Each structure stands twice: as C-alpha cells, then as structure tokens.
Amino acid sequence: MRILLWMTLVLLLTSCGDKDSNQAQGDNASQQQVYKWKLVTSWPKNYPGLGTAPENFAKKVEAMSNGRLQIKVFGAGQLVPALQVFDAVSQGTAQMGHSGAYFWTGKNKATAFFTSTPFGLNAQEMNAWLHYGGGLELWRELYAPFNLVPFAGGNTGVQMAGWFNREINSMADIKGLKMRIPGLGGDVITRAGGESVNIPGGELYTAMQTGVIDATEWVGPYNDLAFGFHQVAKYYYYPGWHEPGSSLELTVNKPAYEALPADLQAIIETAARAVNQDMLDEYTARNNQALEELVNVHGVEVRKLPDEVIEELRKLSAEAVSDLTADNDFAQRVAQSVEAFKRQAKAYHGISEEAFYKARQQ
C-alpha cells in the first residue's frame, strides 16, 4: 500500500510539473511572438502634427514592446483613401487608424461629439471629459458594433475660423458661401445659408485655388502654413468657434486588439496617452511661431469675426445639436454628458483659467 501511494504521488507531481512547464512555455511563446500591423491615416504621410503623431505612436510602441509589436504607418491614399479609414479598420484591412471621429457621422451622428462641438469643450476639457468624465466609455460603446476600440490620439487645441476669399462683416456674407467644414460646424454653416463640403486636407489648396470652394477651415497656423493657404486666400479669421478643442482618434480593430497579450494592450494604451498629450504640446508651441511667419513674412491679414456673427453662430450651433439629438437616443446621451461636463468646467475655469488670462493682460 505504501509503495502504491508513493507511486501515485510521484505521478501527480510529474503531471503538475509537466503542466507548469507547458504553461511556462506557452507564456514564453506569447512573449516572443512578433505582431506586424498596418496603421492607416487621413493625413498626408509625415504631415506636421497630424501625420507625425501616428509615426511617433508606432515608434513608441515598437520601443516599449522591444520589437514585438511593429506598426507600419500609411498616409492618406497610400493604402486606403483619407475618408475610408474607419471602414478599413472596422473590416480588418488595417489593424489601426488615425483620423477624426466627425468624419463618420454617416455611421452615427453621435460621432461628431468625439472630435469637437461648436462653442464646446476646449482641449484641456475634452481630455478631461474623455478620461475622467465618462466620454471614453461612451465612445467605446458607440464604436463596439463596428469592431473598433477608440483611443484619444491627439488634440490640436482651439482652431482658427478659417481662410476666406471674401470679407465676413455680417451673416449676409455667409449666404452662398461654399466652405470646407466638417462635423457640426458644417451643419451650422449650412443653416446660415452657406454650403458645407467635406474635402480631404491634401485636396484643399487646389480646391481654393480653382474656386471649387470659397473658404476652408483646416486646423491652425502650424498646419495652414504647411499647406500654403496664404497663397490662395486673402483673409484669415478667428476664433475657431466650430472646433475649440479638436480631438483626434486612434482606432484599433477589436479582434486584433483582443488577440494581443495583456502587456501589448497596455503598451498601446500608454503610447496613445503619450501621443495624445504630445500633439497638444506641439501645436501650442508651433502655432505661435507659424502665425508670426504668416503675418510678418507673408503679410496675411488676420481678422476677428464680428461679435454679431459669433452670436448668431452660437444660436445656430445650439439648434444643430438639438436637431441632431432629437431622433438619436445615443447622441442625446453623449450631448447631455458633454453639456454637464462643460457646465462643471466653466464654473471652475471662471475663477481659474479665465480669471488668470484676464489678470495676465492687465
């Protein structure tokens, strides 16, 4: 009996040892596997800010993963057209994408809120809402049916109102204006009697030069100088009422993401957070320098939109949001979340950020 018990114990220990060994080998194999992904974007390859952000993301991921996750970045049109990034990642043509959520309102109108809302959250508030105000959870719920996992992928800060080939002295000057402006801002321009169109960034210079459009918003001085808009437009207007804190997105194909080991998933999340902040830092620094060059070297005429125009655009923006959410329950949930967060942020910023800006000017 003792011999039988001893043999049974040996067999059990051997079995456990084999199981532990196999588990260790399996874990080690997953640690050694190399994943090669494609990342498609809506921007020209290596375009300042927008285009370099996904490149920086890919470099960070490869370095942190010790080469286990390698991501090749494709500019607009290299693998898929600029405005087909969403579908390409959703369908698995590429594992990742970098773009703007408001390009996809044809999928669901609620996507507009995850880029920017006219007269809404600035960059600081947008990041806070996404990461600590429930925004990211809503975003992922919205994208889940499309097999996508979104991450904040950068923010350009407050944009400029755009480049115009006619003066804007009153709302009458917007009537008949054909302007490239996506998202809710485009809806507002249409309500004001203009015509909004959505054209990829790489085509805007020619569209302005040939008169296909009368005006365009893009980003701000840093990117606008790079595209040379000062060569084809006369007036540069501010403020960027339509995009006060434009958030970009990094989207990941959900099956591809879930197939990664936990540590590589964490690396993607960490690299996305780093690039998200880095882009805002870059735009904050570069916009100042670029604006000086536009004015002092190229003689650009910078103008402020009249107060009565801003006030009317604010009213039309409220109408646009109300109409968008009227027949879309999810959009209504997102709009309510954004508005509640904005009220909270405004209350504190009134005695912090805004109060400081006023004090600094004295």
Cα distance between residue 121 and residue 241, in whole Å: 11
In whole angstroms, how far apart are CA 197 and each of 76, 88, 98, 102?
18, 22, 21, 13
Are 182 and 217 members of one domain?
yes
DSSP state of 216: E
Q: What is the reported pLDDT for 13?
A: 45
> In the chain, what percentage of residues exceed pLDDT 70?
91
Q: Is residue 352 part of a domain?
A: no
Are 320 and 236 members of one domain?
yes
Q: What is the reported pLDDT for 24?
A: 45
pLDDT (tens digit per residue) in 48-73: 999 999 999 999 999 999 999 999 99
Q: Is residue 346 part of a domain?
A: no
Residue 114 has φ and ψ, to the nearest 5°, of: -90, 5
Q: What is the reported pLDDT for 254?
A: 98
Are 185 and 196 members of one domain?
yes
CATH number (domain holding residue 203): 3.40.190.10
Q: What is the reported pLDDT for 10?
A: 43
Are 195 and 321 members of one domain?
yes
Are 53 and 167 members of one domain?
no
Domain count, the chain: 2
The β-bridge relationship of strands 148-155 and 96-99 is: unpaired
Q: Is residue 192 part of a domain?
A: yes
pLDDT exceeds 80 at position 93? yes
pLDDT (tens digit per residue) in 125-174: 999 999 999 999 999 999 999 999 999 999 999 999 999 999 999 999 99
Are 240 and 252 members of one domain?
no
Cα distance between residue 9 and residue 133, in whole Å: 56
Helix (H) or strand (E) holding 77, with range, is none
8 or 123, which is more confident: 123
Q: How many CB atoms lie within 10 A of CB 231?
A: 10
DSSP state of 92: T
Q: Which domain holds residue 141?
A: 33-155+245-284
pLDDT exceeds 70 at position 12? no
* Averaged pLDDT of the chain: 93
pLDDT exceeds 60 at position 14? no
Under the banding of pLDDT at 50, 70 and 90, the label for residue 31 is low
> In the chain, what percentage of residues exceed pLDDT 90?
91
Cα distance between residue 283 and residue 245, in whole Å: 12
Are 238 and 138 members of one domain?
no
Q: For residue 38, give the 3-state DSSP assignment.
A: strand
Are 150 and 43 members of one domain?
yes
pLDDT (tens digit per residue) in 146-156: 999 999 999 99
pLDDT exceeds 70 at position 230? yes
Cα distance between residue 112 and residue 116, in whole Å: 7
Q: For residue 260, give the 3-state DSSP assignment.
A: coil
How many CA atoms within 13 Å lie on the side-chain side of 271?
A: 23
Q: What is the reported pLDDT for 32?
A: 85
Are 272 and 239 members of one domain?
no
Q: What angle do CA 278, 76, 146 make, to 5 degrees?
A: 80
Whether 117 contacts 188, CB under 8 Å? no
Instruction: Give the residue-averaged pLDDT of 281-295.
Output: 97
Q: What is the reported pLDDT for 2?
A: 62
Instruction: Give the residue-averaged pLDDT of 217-246.
Output: 97
